[in-house]
Amino acid sequence: MTDHRLKPPASRTFQIILTVATLILLLQNHVSAAPQQMTPQELQSFGKQIQDTATAQDPTKFRALFDWKTFINRVLAEYEQNSAVKQAIQPVRQQLEAAYTAENQGIDSEILAEVANGADYRFLAMRKEDDQYKVIFRFLRPDWTLNYQALIIEKQDSGELKIIDIDSFSTGELISQSLQRLYLPELYKAHGANQDKLTPDEKTRILDQKKRYDFLTSTDEKSDPFQAYTQLPTQYKSDKTVLLFLAQDSIAKEDSKKYQQVLNVYRKYHPQDSAAELLSIDYFSMEKQYPQAIDSLERLSASLKTVDPYLYSLRAGILIEMGDINLAGKYAGKASEIEPDLLQPYLHLLNISVMQSNFDETIRHLETLETKFGFAYEDLDLSELENIDKFTASPQFKKWQSERLPPKAK
């Protein structure tokens, strides 16, 4: 072995110069690979732009908010490190490019279609997390199905901000990861055709991914997913999507004990995550386990790291079921105050006013629902409300009804 202490000074000087040059080159590469900085003002402005463009239903402008090249790279980059596999999966890349860079159906089209059908797509917050810039959106469908999305944002060399991926809280994974799983059979086939050109690590990785894929796509109704779970590679036993799959299976089989077990495991590995809490709010509410539903709601709210008025409204609905009408009214009122164009709090306030026989308030809420949201009294099904018969027999209701009649009908 060469003794570096015996090298002449000239050699040492050259080595030092080479080392410094190498470090500078590595530093330059690191800087160029790191995401460009953006100000909070830029990020907030872009979040509002996304919301406004979705609301305006402008498909061209909305599609232009995405960096599709980077998105596709996020789907395939892991597999394109091997040149033989990269060549074999060219058809997959071509399919993705056709879908996402041409005028075709992609993530953007799906979001716009949801908004066109009445979904509320609302910018809530922005943050820098894990060296990524994100804008957080609430995705609320007309049937009150709730989801949140963290849109990952990068600044281009031009200075423009672009969406490069979306983290869907309800699925527990990025959309790029969902697409990657969708194409896994073709990726697996490409690896199989190039076995002699794979490293041992590449072989193990694709086989393990195939086991996860088979677990998540099994159609054998007789098989026990909990038994199959024990056979998964260790790294996937804490996987968000795997655990959510087990949770959904527990719900379908009405096995509350197993659901609680899965939830505990999920929270152990992902203590600040939203996906299991989103699922649990509905599950525990349906099971009438209201304190646990409130617990999940609080965990969800904490994970968002921002105030979402809809969660106040959601809490109000749970409190109504618990019989705590006064506190429910406070939360519903707070929600309507923070976000005046949110429908659900007014429905809660209407219900609460009837239950408390505060019929002057009931009339006021009915008028708000009609003038603000276009819901006439006839559109509302209040038949199962406590005290509804008392309300319809009240002087307030009769007076209000008579004032609404056309002049000839009076």
Domains of the chain: 40-217 (no CATH), 307-409 (1.25.40.10)
Q: pTM of the entire structure? A: 0.86
400-403 contact pairs (CB < 8 A, 24+): 400/363, 400/366
Q: Average pLDDT by consecutive 10-residue portion of the chain (410 residues)? A: 35 40 42 71 97 95 94 95 96 90 79 95 94 96 94 95 96 94 95 95 96 91 90 96 95 94 95 93 95 96 94 97 96 97 95 94 95 90 87 93 68
CA 297, 299, 300, 301 dihedral sign is: positive
Quote the pLDDT of residue 136.
97
| Cα angle value 94/98/99 (rounded, 5°) | 120
Rounded to the nearest 10°, the torsion over CA 117, 316, 364, 369 is 0
Quote the pLDDT of residue 277.
95
Quote the pLDDT of residue 31.
40
Quote the pLDDT of residue 3.
36
CA pair distance 215, 275, nearest whole angstrom:
19
| Cα angle value 254/228/277 (rounded, 5°) | 45
Quote the pLDDT of residue 408.
55
Nearest C-alpha neighbor of 146 from the set 155, 154, 137: 137
- What is the residue whose two structure tokens read 């060219």? 90
64-79 burial: b if 16+ Cβ within 10 Å, else e: ebbbbebbbbbbbeeb
Quote the pLDDT of residue 25.
45
Quote the pLDDT of residue 16.
37
Question: In this structure, what are the phi and psi dihedrals at residue 193, rounded to the nearest 5 degrees?
Answer: -75, -10
CA pair distance 49, 44, nearest whole angstrom:
9
E strand spans, 69-220: 120-129, 132-140, 146-155, 161-168, 173-174
Quote the pLDDT of residue 306.
92
359-384 burial: b if 16+ Cβ within 10 Å, else e: bebbbebbebbeeeeebeeeeeebee
Nearest C-alpha neighbor of 286 from the set 324, 254, 323, 244: 254
Interacting residues of 48 by C-beta distance below 8 A, sequence separation 6+: 123
Instruction: With beta carbons less than 8 A apart as the criterion, state whether 339 and 309 touch.
Output: yes
- What is the residue whose two structure tokens read 């009649």? 405
